[in-house]
A and B are shown apart, each in its own frame.
Chain A
Amino acid sequence: MRLARRVLPPAILLLVLFGAWELYVDLGGVDRLVLPAPRDVARSLFEDRSLLLSNLLVTAKEVLLGGVLAVVLGFGLAVAIQFSRTLRAAVYPLLIGSQAVPVVVIAPVLLIWLGFGLAPKLVVIALVSFFPVVVTTLAGFAAVDQDLMKLMRTFDATRLRSFWHVELPATMPRVFTGAKIAVAVAVIGAVFAEWTGSSAGLGYLLNQSIPQLLPARAMASVAILCVFAIALFGLLSLAERVAVPWAYQPRGEISP
């Protein structure tokens, strides 16, 4: 019943949207090369399945590696900034500035520096997705109850032990929030990196399908990317519930 309530509304909404789209293409006399009907996309999903799958594997590898790189980098930077006021003053403005640099400009340069392989993709993905991890992790550190830190000091805890026993676990839910934002951005980053220069991946397939006049296949690639991003997000949510269950526990009291 609860599952039905969660699954039914989006399913019905999608059906209605696809139905309207299908009707519009069929009855509106739209050129199928301009806008393929959902039926055409579904056919492409089936007929091109091995092509889509092999390219998905390439993109998935990039997103996973790049995502891990982004989380490790973002989390590490946040911890370093938390420990050093000087570092915070020096690095934080640069981090914010780094987000204003258009990836459109960076990506071709990376291509020259690092070639067409995996490396430039990972750099682009990490560049666009580490920032939400830094920001959410730092917000987590800032939200740690200062009275708790005082308490730890009266217990003679060193800075490192206070971090290990209090700040780090208290911040974990925020790190997961950052990671969830990061994976969504990482997918966009991967497609863009492939778009700039690559020989495989869903972004590459997307880029090839338009000039080949295969808009249905392009849309099928996008559909796969969407499902992949949702799946990653779902996996992270699941991991979050396993790793930090206390953040979700309802406050149920028993009698004294």
Chain B
Amino acid sequence: MPAKGATHTILPAPVKELDLHQGPAGVCIENVTRTFATRRGEVTALARMSLTAAAGEIVAVVGPSGCGKTTLLEIICGLQEPDSGTVRSAPAALMPQRDLLLPWLSALDNAALALRARGVGREQARATAAPWLERFGLAGFERTRPAQLSGGMRQRVSFLRTLLAGKPVLALDEPFASLDAITRAEMQGWLGQVLANEPRTVVLVTHDVEEAVVLADRVVVMSPRPGRVVADLEVALDRPRHRTASEVIEIRESALECLGMDR
């Protein structure tokens, strides 16, 4: 990450050589600006925002509400075009903030939705999704409708659905924001394990700094609107990480400092 303005690296660990500019499975966004016209005039969601994620890297983006994090993910997923700047990203699938499971489908069919969207037949899609459901601790809930699943289970089905889209990049939009603190902590541990077994390039948007430090290889801190990068923190710690470990707390404190929330 080229130093730019307030960008700084906290840890002495050597910064990885970023070879992702050519990498087929990475994300590279440079100087992206995105402005929306609203009734009260123009709102700049992103201002000369740059972000890179190497293939297989987990990058967490933290920032205050309304700093353009969701816009950033939609640009990565190709749902929005930036007004200026360049976007180079491998195909990305979105995991939305709300689980957005379809209430008329079973857990199995919800998980298989991304396959069905590509035109895979029902039986084949189910056969593909079924072993994953078991691996995700949802065995026995295949036929259960989302309304009967707990919040954590719904999030797992939602994540599985995005994973089964088969895209090299996962764009996760505050995936656990709607969960209670205990379930959220469990789910963070779970996601860490899943990504260890199933490596993908991940852009994880969150406003939970602890979640970012526990899960990510790098934590990118964004400023309030208009969003741009104020810090890029390397998290060179072994996994699994414990939220109470002193190194984790140290990086968390640095990130909070960058957010202007230290005192």
Contact = CB atoms under 8 A, between A and B. Distances in A.
B118 A156 contact: yes
Given A145-B100, A169-B102, A246-B104, A155 B149 contact: no
Contact of B151 (A147, A151, A156, A256): A256
Nearest to A253: B150
A256 B117 contact: no
A147 B99 CA distance: 10
B225 interface: no
Interface residues of B, number: 32
B24 interface: no
A156 B166 CA distance: 11
B114 A155 contact: yes
A112 to B, nearest CB: 47
B110 to A, nearest CB: 11
Interface string B15-28: 00000000000000
Interface in B95-119: 96, 98, 100, 102-104, 113-114, 116-119
A156 B147 contact: no
A202 B104 CA distance: 41
Nearest to B152: A256
B92 A244 contact: no
Given A147-B96, A154-B93, A156-B117, A254 B147 contact: no
Contacts of B119: 161
Contacts of A250: 147
A254 B144 CA distance: 11
Contacts of B117: 152, 155-157, 161-162, 165
Contacts of B103: 246-247, 249
A255 B150 CA distance: 6
Interface residues of A, number: 28
Contacts, number: 77
A221 B29 CA distance: 74
A189 B154 CA distance: 47
Contacts of B152: 256
B74 interface: yes
Contact of B113 (A153, A155, A170): A155
Interface string B160-171: 000001010001
Nearest to A152: B117
A2 interface: no
Interface in B64-89: 74, 77-79
Contact of B145 (A150, A151, A155, A249): A249
A251 B119 CA distance: 31
Interface in B199-233: none
A73 interface: no
A154 B78 contact: yes
A126 to B, nearest CB: 29
A102 interface: no
B145 A246 contact: yes
A246 B149 CA distance: 13
Contact of A153 (B79, B118, B183): B79
Contacts of B171: 154
A248 to B, nearest CB: 10
Given A249-B147, A256-B150, A256-B186, A151 B116 contact: no
B133 interface: no
B124 interface: no
Contacts of A251: 147
Interface of B: 74, 77-79, 92-94, 96, 98, 100, 102-104, 113-114, 116-119, 145, 147-153, 165, 167, 171, 183, 186
13 contacts: A147-B98, A148-B102, A150-B77, A154-B93, A154-B167, A155-B113, A155-B165, A161-B117, A161-B119, A162-B117, A170-B102, A254-B150, A256-B183
Q: Which 7 pairs between the two chains have the least Cβ-Cβ distance?
A: A157-B117, A155-B117, A256-B150, A256-B152, A155-B114, A154-B94, A246-B104
